[in-house]
Structures are given as structure tokens and as C-alpha cells.
Amino acid sequence: MQSYSHSHYLAITLITTVLLLGSTQAQATEITPASMLANSCAGCHGTDGHSPGAIPAIAGKSTEFIETALKDFRSGNKASTVMERHAKGYTDEEIKLLAEYFASQK
């Protein structure tokens, strides 16, 4: 019995290790210009726009919504606390990349 539970424990450890390694690889995101731009939003909006807190999640919102929101923040058309300052740092092209990136997140 002693040896059975021991090997059972080993098997579980092995399976867990394989699962952990597998999931680490699956999560290794490809680095693209869009994902690098998106990194600077993660501090507030969460990893890939999955906000864990009070700041709105942006993952999975439509490209059009995100693009329009960023341009309106940038121009001051849309009231904001921090997004106006943030959006000012991006060109139209970068805003499009960001919008497409976050829209493609689940």
C-alpha cells in the first residue's frame, strides 16, 4: 500500500508538471507591434484588456468602438480622467492596431 500511494503521488506530480509546462507554452503570446503597443494598456485595463478591477475591460469590444473611443479621448470629445493624456501618444495607425488587437481578444 505504501509503495502504491508513493507511485501514485509521483504520477500526479508528473502529470501536473506536464500540464503546467503545456499551459505555459500555450500562453506564450506572439510578440507583434500591436501586442507591444497593447502592453502599455495592461497596467490599467489588465492583460490583453481583461480588466480585473474598476477600469473598463476592453477585450472583445468592437474595433470600431475602441478606435472611436481612443480618437474621441484624444480630441477631447469624450470626457475622461486619464485616457485623453494616454490617447494623445498614439497615431491613427497605432490606434487602429490597438483597436484590432483588443477586439480580437476573447
Query: Which residues sit at the interface with ligand HEC, rule CB under 6 A?
Result: 40-41, 43-45, 55-56, 58, 66, 69-70, 80-83, 86, 98
Instruction: Report in angstroms how near the CB of residue 58 gets to ligand HEC at its nearest.
Output: 5
**Among residues 21 and 35, whose Cβ is nearest to ligand HEC?**
35
Per residue, the 3-state secondary structure of 37-106, as one string, reads HHHHHHHHHCHHHCCCCCCCCCCCCCHHHHHHHHHHHHHCCCCCCCHHHHHCCCCHHHHHHHHHHHHCCC
Instruction: Report in angstroms how near the CB of residue 96 gets to ligand HEC at its nearest.
Output: 11
